[in-house]
């Protein structure tokens, strides 16, 4: 029993560490996008790229490769080597952290398999998460490749896929951790009438993450920097309504990102009223924490717009999205009766 308890503690620490690492790489990935660093390394370099350039000759080689892509030719033709080093190191840190996460997942996972610590169901779930991590690496390169030939930035569609996979991995690990911590076997999504608004809310939160990636990929936050209206109008005045679902248009992307935020806010209000009306005391604190994060996220989003996409505020907005997902999942987990 003592031996099992010790392994259980190690297992929980491993899960917590993985969750922190995934949150960290989402943060670093967000800053990589905000600093336009994602295209600074123009090759995948799965093995070779573990080490950074170690001498001036290697730095020049990387810089010369960057000079061949449209981003340099059209936008950064006056960039110096020292300026290139800054964006290179952001992308390098992002890739190095991704490699570390893969190793940090695999080795303990194999250990737990070897000692037969995990249940069959947990083995399958963790194996699928590991495969998703590997797939995420391939998607990352697929995303980068979209900005190497004709475009000056990566495809916002591929960026959104890359981001939503990261949040899927984060959410899956956090759900497994909650079940382990509270010794439950709650399913992630069950079709029942228990707090339907909370399930709808969770769906809209993930939709908002996709839209946030669209905003980031298209730099859509740099237009219509007024709130609550878009240049004194509800709908963007540079587009007609027949463009409503054209997500290649930055104006439309910002329009949807704003309005989905409002939908999330009002669903949250309805959910809070439902919880307090039912006097579901066990959810009070979890809802209040979640609602605080919602208000913080909205406040940061408005601040990002009003300040012309200040890098620090934009990064905080991205970080708070992690806390939003985690707090929503915790509230959802507690709402499910064992």
Residue 5 has pLDDT above 70, yes or no: no
225-231: average pLDDT:
91
Residue 3 has pLDDT above 70, yes or no: no
Taking residue 7's Cβ as centre, other Cβ atoms within 10 Å add up to: 14
| pLDDT for the residue 48 | 81
| pLDDT for the residue 190 | 74
| pLDDT for the residue 1 | 36
| pLDDT for the residue 122 | 95
* Residues 6+ positions from 126 with CB-CB distance below 8 Å: 109, 118, 176
Name residue, tokens 């998703």. 132
Residue 232 has pLDDT above 80, yes or no: yes
Chain segment 237-283, per-residue pLDDT in tens: 888 777 788 999 999 999 999 999 999 999 999 999 999 999 999 99
| pLDDT for the residue 244 | 85
The rounded distance, in Å, linking the Cα atoms of 151 and 160 is: 17
Chain segment 57-114, per-residue pLDDT in tens: 999 999 999 999 999 999 999 999 999 999 999 999 999 999 999 999 999 999 999 9
Contact 306, 225 (CB under 8 A): yes
| pLDDT for the residue 107 | 97
39-57: average pLDDT:
89
Chain segment 159-193, per-residue pLDDT in tens: 999 999 999 999 999 999 999 999 999 988 776 77
295-308: average pLDDT:
94
Contact 326, 196 (CB under 8 A): no
Residue 2 has pLDDT above 50, yes or no: no
Chain segment 109-160, per-residue pLDDT in tens: 999 999 999 999 999 999 999 999 999 999 999 999 999 988 889 999 999 9
Contact 333, 175 (CB under 8 A): yes
This prediction has a pTM of: 0.93
| pLDDT for the residue 59 | 96
Binned at pLDDT 50, 70 and 90, residue 338 comes out as: low
Chain segment 238-249, per-residue pLDDT in tens: 887 777 889 999
């Amino acid at each position: 029993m003592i031996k099992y308890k010790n392994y259980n503690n190690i297992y929980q620490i491993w899960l917590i560490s993985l969750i922190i690492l995934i949150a960290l790489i989402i943060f670093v990935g967000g800053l990589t996008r905000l600093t336009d660093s994602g295209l600074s390394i123009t090759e995948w370099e799965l093995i070779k790229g573990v080490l950074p350039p170690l001498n001036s000759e290697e730095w020049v080689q990387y810089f010369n490769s960057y000079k061949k892509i449209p981003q340099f030719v059209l936008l950064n033709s006056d960039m110096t080597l020292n300026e290139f080093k800054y964006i290179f190191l952001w992308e390098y840190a992002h890739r190095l952290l991704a490699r570390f996460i893969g190793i940090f997942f695999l080795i303990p996972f194999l250990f737990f398999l070897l000692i037969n610590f995990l249940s069959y169901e947990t083995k399958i779930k963790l194996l699928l998460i590991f495969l998703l991590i590997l797939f995420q690496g391939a998607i990352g390169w697929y995303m980068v490749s979209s900005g190497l030939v004709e475009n000056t930035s990566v495809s916002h569609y591929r960026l959104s896929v890359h981001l939503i996979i990261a949040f899927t991995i984060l959410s899956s690990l956090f759900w497994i951790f909650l079940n382990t911590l509270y010794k439950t076997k709650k399913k992630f999504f069950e079709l029942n009438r228990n707090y339907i608004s909370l399930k709808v809310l969770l769906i809209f939160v993930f939709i908002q993450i996709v839209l946030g990636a669209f905003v980031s990929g298209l730099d859509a936050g740099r237009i219509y920097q007024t709130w609550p209206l878009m240049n004194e109008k509800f709908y963007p005045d540079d587009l007609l309504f027949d463009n409503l679902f054209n997500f290649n248009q930055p104006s439309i992307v910002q329009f949807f990102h704003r309005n989905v935020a409002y939908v999330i806010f009002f669903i949250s209000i309805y959910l809070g009223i439902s919880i307090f009306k039912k006097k579901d005391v066990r959810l009070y604190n979890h809802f209040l924490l979640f609602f605080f994060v919602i208000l913080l996220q909205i406040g940061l989003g408005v601040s990002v717009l009003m300040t012309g996409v200040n890098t620090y505020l934009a990064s905080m907005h991205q970080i708070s999205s992690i806390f939003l997902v985690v707090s929503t999942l915790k509230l959802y987990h507690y709402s499910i009766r064992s």
